[in-house]
Amino acid sequence: MLVLTRKAGEGIVIGGNITVTVLEVKGGGIRIGIDAPRDKKIYRQEVYDRICQENVEAAQWNIADLDVVNPNIATTQMKKVVPTK
C-alpha cells in the first residue's frame, strides 16, 4: 500500500482524473472530497464489503432448501391470487 501524509487542504491525484482532497480533520474523523468521473462508483468501504459478502453468501444455497422454502412463502400478491383458483 502506498502511504502518503497529507494536511487539510491537500490532496492526491489518481490516474489523472480522480482527485481526493482532505477537507477537514476534526475529532477523530477526516472529511474528504472526491472528484471523479460520473461513471466511477464510490462507496464507503464497509458498505461495499458488506454487499460483496452478502453476494458470496447468496451464492451458497442448496436446491433442496429452495424447493422447501418456495411454496411456503406467503406473498401479498399470492394472498390475493390464490383464493380465486
Binding-site ranges for another protein (CB under 8 A): 38-39, 41, 43-44, 47-48, 50-59, 61-63, 65-78
Of the pair 3, 63, the CB lying nearest another protein is at 63
Of the pair 9, 67, the CB lying nearest another protein is at 67
Helix/strand/coil for 69: helix
Smallest distance from the beta carbon of 47 to another protein, in angstroms?
Answer: 6
- Name 31's bridge partners: 24
Type of residue at 25 = V
CA distances in angstroms from 79 to 8, 61, 67, 71, 85, listed in the order given: 58, 26, 19, 12, 11
Smallest distance from the beta carbon of 34 to another protein, in angstroms?
Answer: 14
Smallest distance from the beta carbon of 28 to another protein, in angstroms?
Answer: 21
Of the pair 5, 70, the CB lying nearest another protein is at 70
Residue with cell 458488506: 50
